[in-house]
Amino acid sequence: MATPPTPTTPPVPAPQMLPLPVILGTMLRAGSHVSDLIFSPGRLPQVEQSGQLLSVKIQGMPPLRPEDTENFAIHLMGGNKLAMEKLRTEGSCDISYSLPRQSRFRVNIFTQRGTCAIVMRVIPNVIPSFSSLNLPPSLMDIVGLKNGIVLVTGPTGSGKSSTLAALIDKINEEKAYHILTIEDPIEFLHPHKKSTIHQRELYSDTPSFAKALRGALRQAPKVILVGEMRDKETIEIAMEAAETGHLVFSTLHTIDASKTVERICGVFPLSEQATIRNRFSKSFRYIVSQRLLPLAGASGRVAAFEILKSTIRTREYLEKGEGEGKTLMDAMRDGGLEGMQYFDGEIDRLIRSRVVGLETGCAYSTNPGNLRLELSDFEEIPPEA
């Protein structure tokens, strides 16, 4: 057999990758408003800052290879067999990860084109307060509720988890309650204050939201937080919990109050939707929707909130359905004295106060045409940076 030719130059060894904690620390220091860290094969590590992706150049670190992101994923999962199995069978998994003395993360690892990619949401070490989030003062009334459902909705990355954490922390400070949270994964770590708080994580403490929520009904909580209403069974049990005297918090990935009601009812067969509308109209207390808008001429974002509150009028519209002149938007527009507000009214205020630019505000509004008409008297708009 012929001897293969000896290569004239030795192969170049792959560069030694820095430890992941060192990389994460460098990425966190890349800016003042870093919300997400992203690892993708073929690219440098990236951070999302004020809604924009930025590459992070680290000394001696080339673009990531598939084996790099795979090794990072293995490090992050840390022997979590449930997460590994979920990644193998379903193509993605959610875990939490802690970088001691620096930050915690909500991590999603997923496969794409046969390789691993990773998105890490930065979780602040300090639980946000009402004032730090600039939450509408009317939301303080939620702290005094005894039962019912409170939903916080919005697209991914709109700050739903922070709003819920602020509400739970306020109850924790003021009420001597048993509070139970069911999360995927646990984000903010709540210490016991006046209340006692138990936090359960999906897959490590319970196999599903529905099973944990059903178990919660036998664990004597006053307040239950369900990370997300993902399916019919979870929604049914949440309504049952609210109807039996519990205060239930949860989230949905919907853009406003009307879409939230449609999503909840649409999960059920057509034959059951009238009953569900009736039950939900009686059990809901607040639907809080939020959007993050880029600031005018500065880095950072500001939250705009839509608030639908349970009143005789809104309960009727939920139960019987919306009609001409009887929409949830009409109720929110007319309900300022009752603590309600609607997106376009809030965006109008932000534009007039020059917190956000006209074009940006209209892009994030519910009805851009109507908003432009409302702003027809607004002049001398400074150019956006």
CATH number at residue 193: 3.40.50.300
Query: How many Å apart are CA 67 and CA 87, to the nearest integer?
Result: 16
55-100 pLDDT, tens per residue? 999 988 999 999 999 999 999 999 888 899 999 999 999 999 999 8
Confidence of residue 181 (pLDDT cuts 50, 70, 90): very high
Q: Quick check: is 87 in a domain?
A: yes
Report percent pLDDT > 90 for the chain.
80
3-class secondary structure, 56: coil
The pLDDT assigned to 6 comes to 44
Q: Which residues pair with 38 in a beta bridge?
A: 46, 119
234-245 pLDDT, tens per residue? 999 999 999 999
Contact 348, 374 (CB under 8 A): yes
- Is residue 331 predicted with pLDDT exceeding 50? yes
Report the chain's mean pLDDT, rounded to a whole number.
91
Q: Quick check: is 106 in a domain?
A: yes
Range of weakest confidence among 107-116, 141-150, 276-285, 295-304: 295-304
| In a shared domain, residues 115 and 248 | no
| Structural domain containing residue 91 | 22-123
337-358 pLDDT, tens per residue? 999 999 999 999 999 999 999 9
What residue type is 331 in one-letter code? A
Query: How many Å apart are CA 225 and CA 239, to the nearest integer?
Result: 13
Residues 6+ apart with CB under 8 A from 380: none
| In a shared domain, residues 98 and 137 | no
Q: Quick check: is 15 in a domain?
A: no
Q: Is 148 left (phi over 0), alpha (psi -120 to 50) or beta?
A: left
7-39 pLDDT, tens per residue? 444 444 445 678 999 999 999 999 888 999 999
Last residue of a domain, one of 65, 94, 123: 123
274-321 pLDDT, tens per residue? 999 999 999 999 999 999 999 998 778 999 999 999 999 999 999 998
Q: What DSSP assignment string belongs to 228-283?
A: ---SHHHHHHHHHHHHTT-EEEEEE--SSHHHHHHHHHHTS-GGGHHHHHHHHHHH
* Residue of 55, 68, 56 lying closest to 16 (CA atoms): 68
- Is residue 156 predicted with pLDDT exceeding 70? yes
Q: Quick check: is 371 in a domain?
A: no
Query: How many Å apart are CA 360 and CA 291, to the nearest integer?
Result: 12
Q: What is the pTM of this model?
A: 0.86
In the numeric block, which tokens belong to residue 339? 């603590």
Last residue of a domain, one of 55, 89, 123: 123
Q: What are all long-range contacts of 108-112, with beta carbons under 8 Å and residues at least 24 apart? A: 109/73, 109/76, 109/77, 109/83, 111/87
| In a shared domain, residues 156 and 113 | no
| In a shared domain, residues 113 and 135 | no
| In a shared domain, residues 149 and 167 | yes
Q: Quick check: is 299 in a domain?
A: yes
The pLDDT assigned to 385 comes to 43
Contact 55, 31 (CB under 8 A): no
The pLDDT assigned to 5 comes to 45
| In a shared domain, residues 317 and 300 | yes
| In a shared domain, residues 284 and 167 | yes
| Total H helices, total E strands in the chain | 14, 13
Q: What φ, ψ does residue 215 adopt, rounded to 5°?
A: -65, -30
Q: Quick check: is 61 in a domain?
A: yes
| In a shared domain, residues 289 and 141 | yes
Query: How many Å apart are CA 134 and CA 118, to the nearest integer?
Result: 31
| In a shared domain, residues 195 and 335 | yes
Q: Quick check: is 108 in a domain?
A: yes
Residues 6+ apart with CB under 8 A from 191: 197
| In a shared domain, residues 136 and 100 | no
Q: What is the CATH number of the domain that holds 43?
A: 3.30.450.90
Provide the 10 A C-beta neighbour count for residue 47. Answer: 23
CA torsion sign for 150, 156, 158, 164 is: positive
Q: Quick check: is 381 in a domain?
A: no
Query: How many Å apart are CA 7 and CA 129, to the nearest integer?
Result: 64
Q: Rounded to the nearest 10 degrees, what angle do helices 257-266 and 273-283 cross at?
A: 130
* Residue of 316, 345, 344, 346 lying closest to 328 (CA atoms): 316
In the numeric block, which tokens belong to residue 321? 């359905």
The count of structural domains within the chain is 2
The pLDDT assigned to 253 comes to 95
- Is residue 144 predicted with pLDDT exceeding 90? yes
Last residue of a domain, one of 123, 155, 175: 123
Instruction: Return the half-sphere exposure (C-beta side, CA atoms, 13 A cut-off) of residue 218.
Output: 4
| In a shared domain, residues 102 and 160 | no
- Is residue 378 predicted with pLDDT exceeding 90? no
| In a shared domain, residues 143 and 98 | no
Q: What DSSP assignment string belongs to 153-206?
A: E-STTSSHHHHHHHHHHHHHHH---EEEEEESS--S-PPPSSSEEEEEEBTTTB
Confidence of residue 383 (pLDDT cuts 50, 70, 90): low
